[in-house]
Amino acid sequence: MVNVFNFGAAGDGQVDDTEALQHALEAGDGVLSLNPGTYRISRPLVLDTTKQGYVGIRGAAGTSRIIMTGPGPAIRLIGSHEGTATPSTVKPQVWEKERLPIISDLEIFGEHPEAVGIELRKTMQATVSRVLIRQCLHALHLVERNRNFLLADSHLYDCHAYGVFFDRCNLHQTIICGNHISYCHRAGIKSLDGDVHNLHITGNDIEYNNRPGEDESPNGEPTGAEIWFEAREGTISEVTIASNTIQATVQPGGANIRVYGSADSGGGGARLISISGNVIGSQSRAIDLEYADRVAITGNTIYDSPDLSLRAIHCEGLSFGSNTICWRGTPETPPKDGILLEHCTNAAITGLATRRMSAGSAEAGGAITLRKCDAVSIGESQILDPLHRGIELEDCTRCRVTANTVLNDVEPGTMQQAIRVTGNSHGNLIQGNLVGGAAKQNIEVDEKANHVAGNSEV
C-alpha cells in the first residue's frame, strides 16, 4: 500500500492533491491508502487496470475525504472486460490484472455541479463498500459494459440527479444491499436503456429521492423516483427488489418504483421483475408500470399514495397479491390509494387487505379499476370502505371478480356501488362476493352480457 503523504499530498483540504494522488496510484503496488485528511482534486483519479494491474483505493475507516472541484468523476475505474460472467468469456488479462477492484472507507464530496463520485467502465467484479458520496451529479455512474458489480454498506446522499445510474450500460450480475440512498433529486437508482439483467436490490433504505415543488427535471422527464427503470430502447430483466424501505415526500409525477418498457418490445423491454417484502409509500404513485411483462408484486406494505398505489398500463403476466394498502383509513384522512389496470392481460389481483382506497370519482372508477383489460382476475381481497366504489370493470372481457369482500361501514356512506361492470364489457364472471353498504346498488352489471352468480349482500 502507498502512503500518499510520501508523494507530496497535503490532505489539508486546501492544496490541490490531484498530481500527488495520481502519482501515488501509478507508482505504487496497486492499493492507494488515504491517510485521515481532506484531499482536494480538480480532475479524475484514473485507476486503469489495463495499465496498472490490480487496483484499489482505501480510506482510513471513513476519516479520509476527497473533494472533487472539477467536472467528471472523482474516481474513474477502467477495465477491458468485453465478455459476460461466464468464465470462458473472461480473458486471462482480466483475471491476471483487472478483477476485483475495491473502493472503500472514504467520503467523496462534489464541489462542482458536474462532479461525479465514481465511474465504472468495463470492469469485472468491481466492489464499492463503506463509502459516503454526496453533493455529486451522480454518486455512482456505470457506463459501457460492466460485470458482477457489488455496492454495500454505503451512503449515497443528496446528489443532483441519481444515486446509482446505469447509463445505457450493458450490465449483468449486480447486488445493491445494505445502503442508504437518499435525497437524490431525480432517482435513487436509475437504469436507462442499455442491457441490464440480474439486478438485486435488497435490504436498503431508499428515501426522499425527489425535489418537492418541481414537476419535471431540466430535460423534461418526470422526476422523483426511488427506483426508476426506463427501458424504452433497452432491456431491464431479472430484477429482485426485496426487503427495502422505499418512501418519499409526495411530488407531482413522482413514484416510489417506476418501470417503463417499450411498446415495440412485446413485453421484452421490462420483464421478470419481483417486488416483495418492501414498505412503499408517501409518493404520488407507489408502483408505476408501463409495458412490463411478468411482474410479481407480493407481500408489500403500501400506503399514502395520493394518485395510485398501483398503475399498470399495457402489462402482461402481472401478479399483485398479499399486499396491504392503507395509511390510516379514517374518514378525516385525505383521499389516497387505489389500483388501476389499463390494457392489461393475463393478470391477477389476489389476497389484498385494504381500507379507504379513494381512487376514481363518483361518476367513474373505483378502488380497483380495470379498463380495457382481458383475462384479469380479482379475488380473495378485502376492500373495505372504498370512497366511491369497490371494483369497476370498464370495457373488459373474460375477467373474473370472485370471493371478495366489498363493504362500506362509513357514515354517511359515499360508496355508490360495491362492484360495477360498465361500458362494452362482456364474458366476465362476478361470483361469490360479499358486498354491502352501497348508496345506490351493491352490484351493477349487465347480466345478459356477463355471468353473475352466488353473491351475498349484507
106-125 residue pLDDT tens: 999 999 999 999 999 999 99
Pick the residue with more confidence: 27 or 188? 188
> In the prediction, which pLDDT does 289 show?
97
| pLDDT tens, residue by residue, 398-422 | 999 999 999 998 877 789 999 999 9
Rg, C-alpha atoms of the chain: 26
Arithmetic mean of pLDDT over the chain: 93
Q: Which residues pair with 392 in a beta bridge?
A: 369, 420
Structural contact between residues 383 and 390, judged by C-beta atoms closer than 8 angstroms? yes
What's the average model confidence in pLDDT over 50-60?
A: 90
Instruction: Please give the backbone phi and psi of residue 370, each rounded to the nearest 5 degrees, phi first.
Output: -110, 125
- Whether the pLDDT of residue 213 is over 80: the answer is no
From the number of C-beta atoms within 10 Å of its C-beta (0-12, 13-18, 19+), residue 351 rates as: middle
- Whether the pLDDT of residue 167 is over 80: the answer is yes
> In the prediction, which pLDDT does 90 show?
87
> In the prediction, which pLDDT does 215 show?
57
- Whether the pLDDT of residue 381 is over 80: the answer is yes
> In the prediction, which pLDDT does 267 show?
59
Give the pTM.
0.95
- Whether the pLDDT of residue 317 is over 60: the answer is yes
> In the prediction, which pLDDT does 172 show?
93
> In the prediction, which pLDDT does 214 show?
62
> In the prediction, which pLDDT does 220 show?
59
> In the prediction, which pLDDT does 219 show?
59
Q: How far apart are CA 72 and CA 108, in angstroms?
A: 13
- Whether the pLDDT of residue 339 is over 70: the answer is yes
> In the prediction, which pLDDT does 230 show?
93
What band does 274 get if pLDDT is binned at 50, 70 and 90?
very high
DSSP summary character for residue 26: H
> In the prediction, which pLDDT does 83 show?
83
What's the average model confidence in pLDDT over 128-132?
A: 98
| pLDDT tens, residue by residue, 216-226 | 555 556 668 99
| pLDDT tens, residue by residue, 421-453 | 999 999 999 999 999 999 899 999 999 999 999
What's the average model confidence in pLDDT over 382-387?
A: 95
Instruction: Please give the backbone phi and psi of residue 341, each rounded to the nearest 5 degrees, phi first.
Output: -115, 130
